[in-house]
């Protein structure tokens, strides 16, 4: 099973019905757009940063781990892509997904002055709904 989602080719019968993917395929696509491995690493490191003794370093580490994971998201997913299959749109959407998830799961710690949990939840839900409808090829 591939780490990235590759859309299936539509048959003439599917096109005539107006249905290209069923609920299971839609949910699989949305799930694969979330860079869960990178988010898991990010959450783990963000949870460890408050244990650093020198508090003045916390903001540097928060910013550094965010930047590192932001950069690693497309690099990691590119390494997981199947050769010859479309991947560019998937990499962009997954990188955006990382930003949204990072804000949602750690915003109150990393960006307390600008974090709003209601906004984070709304953006997360809307992105999940919309991203599943964006063609990847």
What pTM was estimated for this model as a whole?
0.85
Q: Is residue 114 part of a domain?
A: yes
- The answer to whether residue 38 is domain-embedded is yes
Residue 57 placed within a domain: yes
Say what the pLDDT of residue 18 is. 52
pLDDT digits (tens, 9 = 90+) for 66-116: 999 999 999 999 999 999 899 999 999 999 999 999 999 988 787 778 889
49-55: Cβ within 8 A, 24+ apart: 50/109
- For residue 35, being part of any structural domain is answered with yes
95: domain range? 23-131
Alpha-helix residue ranges (DSSP H) falling in the chain: 12-17, 23-33, 36-48, 58-80, 88-110, 117-131
Would you say residue 16 lies in a domain?
Answer: no
In a domain, 17, yes or no: no
Evaluate whether residue 10 is within a structural domain: no
Structural domains of the chain, count: 1
């Amino acid at each position: 099973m591939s780490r990235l989602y590759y859309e299936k080719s539509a048959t003439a019968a599917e096109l005539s019905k107006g249905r290209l993917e069923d609920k299971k395929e839609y949910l699989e696509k949305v799930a694969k757009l979330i860079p869960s491995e990178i988010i898991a690493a990010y959450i783990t490191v963000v949870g460890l940063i408050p244990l650093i003794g020198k508090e003045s370093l916390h903001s540097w580490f928060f910013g550094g781990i965010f930047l590192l994971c932001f950069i690693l998201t497309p690099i990691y997913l590119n390494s997981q892509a199947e050769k010859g299959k479309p991947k560019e749109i998937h990499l962009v959407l997954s990188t955006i997904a990382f930003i949204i998830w990072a804000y949602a799961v750690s915003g109150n710690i990393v960006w307390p002055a600008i974090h709003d949990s209601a906004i984070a939840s709304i953006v997360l839900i809307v992105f999940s709904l919309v991203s599943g409808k964006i063609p990847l090829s």
